[in-house]
Amino acid sequence: MSAYLRRASGIASLLSVAAFGTLAGHAVTYLLKGRTTDDGHHGYFSPLLAVAIASVLLCGIVAVVRLLTVPSNRAVREAPSSLTFYVTLATLQVAGFAALEFFEGNAPDLIGCGIEALTALAIAAFVFFLSSFAERYVAPVVTTYLRRARNAFNALRRLPADFVQPPLRLAVCAGICRFKRPPPIIG
């Protein structure tokens, strides 16, 4: 089940990045062509862009949490190469752009598809820069902090009563006999 969830979150991350890139490329294409999105065919654009940005942020947070929760002694699956990621992302974005243009009643053109491919290249470069930065600089610091916090939490956790009661009784008895008073109560 864990492998299925990991695979599903990877696919969801890729699709959310592709959706965001498609919408960004669509906006850039319209901007360069001098077209507006004020017609009745683009009512979806603003809400869908907000959803795409939110899903990219959520998938980014999930990726960072997954990076930090993987134990260092367990083998981590290598990320796909940047070329594979770029080709997959560009294919999804160009297909998404063509679908959007088709649903709007326009024919997809070569300029729009080229802009989508360039947008995919920029997004792929940004994603790989961010992930390598997180793996190299952020993950070791946060992992060290979490390990220290976990050790501090374990020190505060109380031992089971069956384990503590006999030595505690012996210490109280020895303290009363030796010092003629009970030991101070801690905690």
* pLDDT single digits (tens) 116-136: 899 989 988 888 888 888 778
Distance CA 114, CA 120 (A): 10
Distance CA 50, CA 53 (A): 5
Mean pLDDT taken over the chain = 76
Count Cβ atoms within 10 A of the Cβ of residue 151 and give its class: 0-12 exposed, 13-18 middle, 19 or more buried: exposed
Position 89, amino acid = L
CB atoms within 10 A of CB 108: 18
Count Cβ atoms within 10 A of the Cβ of residue 112 and give its class: 0-12 exposed, 13-18 middle, 19 or more buried: buried
Lookup result for tokens 């654009």:
45
**pTM (two decimals):** 0.65
Q: How far is it between the farthest Cα atoms of the chain?
A: 95
Distance CA 184, CA 187 (A): 10
* pLDDT single digits (tens) 20-77: 888 888 888 888 888 777 766 777 777 887 888 888 888 888 777 776 666 554 445 5
Helical spans, DSSP H, in 36-160: 45-69, 82-104, 110-133, 139-156
Whether the CB-CB separation of 160 and 166 falls below 8 Å is answered with no
Lookup result for tokens 């101070």:
184
More confident residue, 65 or 94: 94
More confident residue, 90 or 180: 90
Distance CA 131, CA 67 (A): 9
Segment 76-84 mean pLDDT = 67
Distance CA 144, CA 72 (A): 11
Whether the CB-CB separation of 37 and 100 falls below 8 Å is answered with no
